[in-house]
């Protein structure tokens, strides 16, 4: 008998069972008591749901380092008929996981893509100014945003909106930058962050609050497989070709740098594996 047949069939069985689980409507996760002056981490999310898909490190900073994690809803999706509903789902998701939420506009920003940047520079400039305003007001220690080749047009657009907002703030503004991936894999991540079973379960549950999206495509049920595959990729992309795999089951890949003096600076000379036993605060001086 092939023992791997059982392994595969268990994955299939669990994926089918997951389709019977509730979408949203779950009790809020336990959360730490944050200091009034807790340092902030902002997640610039191209769409509602990105905040938890890439949220492995953000959740650890919230739970283990006492950081105030705030999701910035760059857009509320391209389907205008669904934008109000997506905001309702996003609020429920953030409430469940414990993240704060900031809107960029009543229905989110529009035209967050490079085609619109070229065709409608006035709208683009207003969007850049709005993100610069948020950065100046919030003074985050860390920001999360997609890398420049994250395939989806809104993800790529969000990268350049954030980059231009940083440039607009001038040389006096400084923060750590954490670039994320989902649709398009990074060629040069330098950080792989392990997530515990509890954290992954909470992130998947939070993702299920985006009911309209996961009914269309149950990607919340595939998130664990993606996190597992990240460990395969990250072992060599972060640790070096031919390197040994860390004993992680779930991981998320990032590119960590610092924005200072109007430019990116190197933070990690070599790739870093951050296990569940490591304190994420040490990376950021929290």
CATH value at residue 215: 3.40.50.10320
pLDDT tens for 72-95 read 999 999 999 999 999 999 999 999
The answer on pLDDT for 286 being more than 80 is: no
Question: Quick check: is 173 in a domain?
Answer: yes
Question: Quick check: is 67 in a domain?
Answer: yes
Number of domains in the chain: 1
- Residue 41, SS3 per DSSP: strand
The answer on pLDDT for 224 being more than 90 is: yes
Q: Return the structure tokens found at 98.
A: 């414990």
The answer on pLDDT for 17 being more than 80 is: yes
Q: Return the structure tokens found at 226.
A: 């993606």
Question: Quick check: is 256 in a domain?
Answer: yes
Question: Quick check: is 282 in a domain?
Answer: no
Question: Quick check: is 180 in a domain?
Answer: yes
Average pLDDT over residues 242-271: 97
Could you list the residue range(s) of the whole structural domain that residue 130 is in? 38-275
pLDDT at 285: 79
Full 3-state SS string of 173-200: CCEEEEEECCCCCCCCCCEEEECCHHHH
* % of residues, the chain, pLDDT over 90: 98
């Amino acid at each position: 008998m092939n023992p791997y047949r059982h392994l595969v069939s268990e994955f299939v069985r669990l994926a089918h069972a997951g389709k019977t689980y509730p979408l949203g409507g779950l009790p809020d996760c336990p959360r730490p008591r944050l200091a009034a002056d807790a340092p902030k981490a902002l997640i610039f999310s191209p769409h509602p749901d990105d905040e938890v898909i890439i949220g492995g490190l953000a959740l650890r900073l919230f739970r283990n380092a006492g950081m105030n994690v705030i999701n910035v809803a760059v857009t509320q999706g391209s389907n205008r008929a669904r934008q109000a509903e997506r905001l309702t789902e996003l609020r429920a998701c953030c409430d469940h996981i414990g993240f704060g939420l900031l809107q960029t506009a009543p229905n989110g920003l529009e035209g967050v893509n490079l085609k619109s940047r070229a065709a409608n520079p006035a709208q683009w400039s207003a969007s850049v100014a709005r993100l610069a305003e948020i950065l100046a007001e919030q003074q985050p220690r860390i920001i999360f945003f997609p890398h420049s080749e994250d395939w989806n047009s809104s993800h790529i657009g969000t990268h350049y909106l954030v980059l231009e907002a940083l440039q607009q703030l001038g040389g006096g503004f400084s923060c750590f930058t954490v670039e994320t991936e989902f649709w398009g894999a990074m060629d040069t991540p330098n950080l792989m962050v392990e997530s515990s079973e509890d954290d992954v379960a909470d992130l998947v549950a939070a993702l299920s609050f985006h009911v309209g999206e996961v009914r269309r495509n149950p990607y919340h049920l595939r998130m664990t497989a993606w996190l597992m595959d990240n460990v395969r990729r990250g072992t060599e992309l972060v640790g070096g070709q031919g390197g040994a795999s860390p004993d992680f089951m779930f991981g998320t890949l990032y590119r960590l740098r610092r924005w200072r003096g109007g430019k990116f600076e190197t933070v990690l000379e070599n790739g870093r594996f951050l296990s569940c036993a490591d304190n994420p605060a040490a990376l950021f001086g929290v």
